[in-house]
Amino acid sequence: MTWLITGGAGYIGGHVVKAMLEAGRQVAVFDDLSSGRAERLPEGVPLIRGSVLDRAAVDRALREHGVTGVLHTAAKKQVGESVEQPFHYYRENLQGLQTVLEATAEAGVRRFLFSSSAAVYGMPDVDLVTEATPCAPLSPYGETKLAGEWLVKAAGVAHGISTVSLRYFNVAGAADPALSDDGVLNLVPMVFQRLTAGEAPRVFGADYPTPDGTCVRDYIHVSDIASAHVAAVERLTADPAGETSLTLNIGRGEGVSVREMLDVIGRVTGYDTTGEVGPRRAGDPARVVASAELIRKELGWGARYGVEEMVASAWDGWCARHPGARRAG
């Protein structure tokens, strides 16, 4: 059984490839390399360079590699950019997903795993976000993920495809420095960038109704994200085709505030991480923390890594790309 991993040369996709191989799964990667890097892939893993909008390329990949399951991680994922370029995000994330799903169905592939996001929830006013919490996305990015879940589920019903959609919370860390996140779009690398430039980390709002006034989030190690994908693949493989339809959170179920995260980063890096407090950002909820009960029940999965391990592994990756960073601390 070969799994085609779209976006498999990206930050999360590369970790999924690694975890799948370690679990003894055969994989092929489909990626346009717009943000992914071919060097993330181990030697011997087939890489098909192409766009998820190119139906002929997807058809060839499914056929030539004998694909029996698809793991779709390819997507554009910058929230702010999605507000500025909604057409681009709907085309890449929804039209691209539709193209891959149509090819999957027509090829007779009956197992499909979709990478979704906690962005589908928007600003939930609850202590723990369950899969039953109403979805009200605040950005075109979140909208494409929610609509993507609907499309995956509908395609599964119509074509007898077993499906799982996994909603990621705040991803951090790296299994290996070579697989670390290149971007500076999330809190941890954003803080690293400020620190190594000799600047104080930014704190967007310190007057939220939380214990220390800063936003609280559920941070999850990217290796745990990858292991959740493996658990979902095992479930899809074991169940008869067309019988599974699941939507699951991937989180630790523990909230960490911005100030608490800055304290951890300070301990790991040796830098002074006293934050520079500014005004709130529009649309930032005070608290978004996952309930991880359903994924534990359905897949027997639970997170293994804590926040300090996430930060330490992310710092190793940052320093591998910025050799002066560690010495400057």
Tokens of 19: 């975890």
Looking at residue 183, its pLDDT comes to 84
CB under 8 Å to 327, separation ≥6 — which residues? none
Instruction: Evaluate if residue 132 carries a pLDDT over 80.
Output: yes
Residue 156's pLDDT band, with cuts at 50, 70 and 90, is very high
pTM for the model: 0.95
Q: What is the pLDDT of residues 45-54, one digit of tens each?
A: 999 999 999 9
Phi, psi of 238 (to 5 degrees): -75, -30
Looking at residue 329, its pLDDT comes to 43
Lowest mean pLDDT among 2-6, 97-101, 194-198, 281-285: 281-285
Stretch 10-28: mean pLDDT, rounded?
A: 97
Q: What is the pLDDT of residues 275-321, one digit of tens each?
A: 999 999 877 889 999 999 999 999 999 999 999 999 999 999 999 99
Same domain, 92 and 57: yes
Looking at residue 327, its pLDDT comes to 56
Stretch 116-120: mean pLDDT, rounded?
A: 96
Q: Identify whether the C-beta of residue 20 lies closer than 8 Å to the C-beta of residue 70.
A: no
20 assigned to some structural domain: yes
Average pLDDT of the chain to the nearest whole number:
95
324 assigned to some structural domain: yes
CB under 8 Å to 276, separation ≥6 — which residues? 199, 200, 201, 202, 203
299 assigned to some structural domain: no
Looking at residue 24, its pLDDT comes to 97
CB under 8 Å to 211, separation ≥6 — which residues? 257
The total number of structural domains in the chain stands at: 2
Same domain, 258 and 237: no
Same domain, 77 and 213: no
Under DSSP, the state recorded for 290 is: B
Same domain, 132 and 270: no
297 assigned to some structural domain: no
State what percent of residues in the chain have pLDDT above 90.
91
Residue 16's pLDDT band, with cuts at 50, 70 and 90, is very high
Q: Which residues are catalytic?
A: 141
Looking at residue 188, its pLDDT comes to 95
Same domain, 127 and 161: yes
Same domain, 116 and 147: yes
296 assigned to some structural domain: no
Helix/strand/coil for 278: strand
Stretch 222-236: mean pLDDT, rounded?
A: 98
Same domain, 158 and 177: no
Under DSSP, the state recorded for 194 is: H
Same domain, 322 and 230: no
DSSP assignment of 219-272 equals EEEHHHHHHHHHHHHHHHHHSPTT--EEEEEE--S--EEHHHHHHHHHHHH-S-
CATH assignment at residue 144: 3.40.50.720
Same domain, 225 and 317: no
What is the span of the domain harbouring residue 205? Answer: 172-217+252-289+305-328
Same domain, 86 and 198: no
CA dihedral sign, ordered 102, 6, 19, 113: negative
Tokens of 64: 């030539």
CATH assignment at residue 276: 3.90.25.10
Same domain, 71 and 166: yes
Same domain, 109 and 206: no
Q: What is the pLDDT of residues 72-109, one digit of tens each?
A: 999 999 888 999 999 999 999 999 999 999 999 999 99
Q: How far apart are CA 289 and CA 305, in angstroms?
A: 16
Q: How far apart are CA 185 and CA 168, in angstroms?
A: 15
